[in-house]
Amino acid sequence: MTMYDPYQNMLHVLDEAASVLKLHKDEYAFVRYPERELTVSLPIRMDDGHVQVFEGYRVQHSSVRGPAKGGVRYHPNTDINETRALAGWMTIKCAVANIPYGGAKGGIRVDPQCLSDRELERLTREYTYRISPIIGTDIDVPAPDVGTNAQIMAWIVDEYSKLRGKYTPGVVTGKPIEIGGSLGRNEATGRGIMYTLMSYLETTGKKPCDITMAAQGFGNVGSVGCLLMKRAGINIVAIGDIGRSLYNPNGIDIEKAYAYANSHGRSLDGYQEEGMQVIPKGDVLHLDVDVLFMAAMENQLNAATMEGVKAKLILEGANGPTTNEADTYFYKHGIEILPDVMTNAGGVVGSYYEWVQNRTGFYWTEEEYNKKLQANMRKTFQTVWQVKEKYHVSARLSCYIIALSRIVAAQNYRGFLG
């Protein structure tokens, strides 16, 4: 049994897209390799006085269509290969959404819950110092991801600004409103997922009130996505986080669960409501529902879990939740997937809007922000569906066809040296 390699997963679909477009490998070889990878050691004096050395990463996969763009992940399992894959997916995602960015990703191998706030701040500032030569408003723009948030982005802005000798809010997105963040950005990923699902239901002639959903993952993406989809009429019967999974055949009170999780460190531990039962964590993937919302981590739908899936639609909120093997299985069995590189692009589209506002110094209302986000997500979905039907391929392969054609076209216009 070979170990799951997320970057090879990405390359596999990329090569399929190139085959459909009849591209010779010479025409897109540059997309298969990250432009730059940086690994840094981060020695931090902990609160008890001892020094601990963490490992951090920043991978810039592509800058062909604009500055590299991608989040920073704090997680104990983060490594260079995961970061490389996430950067590659960001390149595809930005091209599918047709925003002027390339792809990047960063991370530190750490469990942020095991650090005090002071330790977390020291770690973030040291990481910023170490990667500062390769990031910047017009070079590479980080953002929050798993294990990071607006506060961490604020520390990055402050440290980077000190290094540059001037306030530089555009170096990251996902900041607090008070220091140049954008109204609507915190909910942008979840809202974009909701817009994508609504576009799919409109296209297929289905009504939200007739749809049942189970959700794996109840962090920022999962909880906001569930809250907004519930308000749009979706009946969510199961939710799960890293600690537990909950099932209520009559529908979960998402407003109540969302408020509880937000006041308990993003955890559903101890949450209760009438008619609800705790189920084994893995069972949330195999419930008899219309939509399975994947909002946790990579590689959740794989050879071990795919055959038990009963949902007819998989909504990917997380990055890379489905392996190639599971992807092929679902396609053969008529299970539709709304892929991550289209569905969760609301986060980077929203980040693009924040970056534009930072650069111009002109800030929009939340209503204006959400209206622009909805227009982009609807247009992206329509383009993906048109290409899907033109080539008779999966929605994921359609995304890669669109992205690859745009990236190759940009590189051809820019030209090659040598």
Give the active site residues: 105
Question: Tokens 């569906």 — which residue?
Answer: 385
Contact between 139 and 67 under an 8 Å Cβ cutoff? The reply is yes
Closest-CA residue to 301 (of 332, 326, 334): 326
Which 8-state DSSP code applies to residue 320?
S
Closest-CA residue to 330 (of 346, 310, 348, 350): 310
Contact between 56 and 108 under an 8 Å Cβ cutoff? The reply is yes
How far apart CA 160 and CA 131 sit, in angstroms, is 10
Task: Indicate left, alpha or beta for 66 from its phi (over 0: left) and psi (-120 to 50: alpha).
Answer: left
Q: Tell me the torsion sign for CA atoms 336, 378, 63, 144.
A: negative
Interior CA angle at 219 toward 217 and 223, to 5°? 80
User: What residues pair up with 235 in beta bridges, in sequence order?
Assistant: 212
Which 8-state DSSP code applies to residue 218?
-
**How many other CB atoms sit within 10 Å of the CB of residue 67?**
20
Per DSSP, the three-state class of 243 is: coil
Contact between 83 and 47 under an 8 Å Cβ cutoff? The reply is no
